[in-house]
Structure 1
């Protein structure tokens, strides 16, 4: 695919324009010529990236890629929460799946209009809309340009994994940031600054390693705003946090059922900027494995049960061979039966699903 673009405007002759031409020895700025050779007609790819500095022609090339395919620019209604504007012709599970797939798993954010979200949340919401709309061909301009680089990289990784599941659909991302390439692992890259085309998945996603520390509720106030339930603290719980390079990224609390029959885990939270990196499930599994191996304050091997009403977390647990589903309720129990210190639980209409950790070596 050969692209030839010629932009032209009036060659202004005002005093300031003439002065600038004289000062910098520039004859004119009215003509811009951009050429690019992109051998992508074979369609044997899913993700391509056009990267380069500002003003090097990324957007112009993007507009000329496919006739009839414009740059993705979703419109958002300020009077509706984003959950009502994603997968509008599908089910609520379709909408939450798209949001979770791109790492926007903070439930309170789903209930806000787009314009009040943070830059990082808006970035992921736009990606969720792109997944939900399921276009055969997708072009996104200024990909990750206005967000923190941590959010950009994790969000890029989450989007790439989800887009590759679409099978046969193609996306071209236009960006001035080279740091997302390793996380996207694109099938091809065209660098407008170097006029260079590279084919083949030559980029490798950096590995994310984390350390687990046992603690108490002292860090919960940092995670609580991102948890979808407001409940009293668990009594006699052991808390764990996952840390990446000194940064708190995830939290989990574990207590026991009466008689030390089983452990019970809850309050799993992954910080928004790390959602979509796959840390949550790995963290949960490792803590549960510790308890199964008697690495707890009771020195007793205990299987762990875990309940959630988050539809996409439940889906992930069902897919994981280390877990088995043990229950599924359409609503909670009567609130009057379950009083706790400082509050009560039950009496809700959440679809709560329960799972038991079987272990890494379960046969």
Structure 2
């Protein structure tokens, strides 16, 4: 893209108040208000997936985006008043593609997928809007006011999840924002700052900043913060030992463990793991699950059964888990467990997979938690 000069003019209607203002501040009498921008964004010089236009309010970000990328700039979507958010995605998208896209931008809460857009939190609406944006314009999209309506922790973690999804899907995405705190998390290939007319290719991009988790042992009543986001149900076993992960002292993820009293191979079993929507998309749920597993494996085998597609994919690729049963339905009949392969999921035959944790144990931490 060569250098572009943008000129915006608007007529000045000289009302009594305008004339008073001219007199008070000594403003020259003009018939038109004129704003000029000279922009050079050489996007054809290198291959890229993510760009960022950033700067303070009034520096021309939106004007530049509308002028240069008017076809790619996304406006407000219309959402069904009472239907699930799933029904607002393009008609030619299958349910697996929609839910996969939602999960990829860090919105992996099936119960929330069933709700209308209007009842979601700001953080959830932000993730859903991004997912629909990538679905509606799969090649090239520009989004104004990026992360402007969400908490800054949510903005940073969400930016990292979105960047990962955009690159995996080989799309082009330009974020327009006044927030500089997302740069290291979004990790753009280029940055343009209208205030200084500075364009920068970021050829040596760094990985996102590390996220520190503080994991504590909690009473099972803490489940009330997480239960509505669990994909299976909202109950928790009375004997469950529960752990919670904090990010900047904010509850982020939860894992509960129960004892499995098998006659020949007693073990511990993961009972519930949930990551809150604001913290999804950067691996916190899996990190929490694996940390707790590393505590219990010091004492007995540790197993888990999950039906969440993203968690199944992660564990199938991980060296920390061994798949003991491939994704299939499990049905109970006449007191015996019967496994049947199926493509249909329901309350009586959900598709799940079984895993055993084979990673190293954390003996010192297990002793600190009083597990051994």
Q: TM-score range by the shorter chain?
A: 0.7 to 0.9
What's the TM-score, normalizing by structure 1?
0.87
C-alpha contact (below 8 Å) 2:73/2:143 kept by paired residues: no
What's the TM-score, normalizing by structure 2?
0.85
Gap runs ≥5 in structure 1? 295-299, 339-345
The match for 1:343 is: none
**139-148 or 321-330: bigger deviation:** 321-330
Please give the alpha-carbon distance, in whole angstroms, between the structure 2 residues aligned to 1:311 and 1:87. 22
The match for 1:355 is: 355
The match for 1:273 is: 278
Q: Deviations over 1:67-115 (max 9, x none)?
A: 7434354332224211223354232221111111111122222111212
Q: Deviations over 1:295-334 (max 9, x none)?
A: xxxxx2x232212222222222222232232233336546
Deviation, 1:351, is 1.9
Q: Deviations over 1:191-231 (max 9, x none)?
A: 12222222115565221011222333131111112222335
The match for 1:342 is: none
Q: Alignment length, in residue pairs?
A: 346
1:120–1:41: structure 2 CA closer, same or farther, 3 Å change rule? same
* Structure 1 residue corresponding to 2:174, chosen from 161, 168, 172: 172
The match for 1:245 is: 248
The match for 2:318 is: 320
The match for 1:22 is: 23
The answer on 1:181 being equivalent to 2:180 is no
C-alpha contact (below 8 Å) 1:4/1:34 kept by paired residues: yes
Question: Tell me, what secondary structure is at the counterpart of 1:75?
Answer: coil
Gap runs ≥5 in structure 2? 338-345, 362-372
Please give the alpha-carbon distance, in whole angstroms, between the structure 2 residues aligned to 1:213 and 1:335. 41
The match for 2:195 is: 193
Please give the alpha-carbon distance, in whole angstroms, between the structure 2 residues aligned to 1:133 and 1:356. 39
The match for 1:12 is: 13
**69-78 or 308-317: bigger deviation:** 69-78
CA RMSD of aligned residues (A): 2.5
Deviation, 1:246, is 2.5
The answer on 1:155 being equivalent to 2:153 is no
The answer on 1:38 being equivalent to 2:37 is no
Please give the alpha-carbon distance, in whole angstroms, between the structure 1 residues aligned to 2:333 and 2:147. 46
C-alpha contact (below 8 Å) 1:181/1:203 kept by paired residues: no
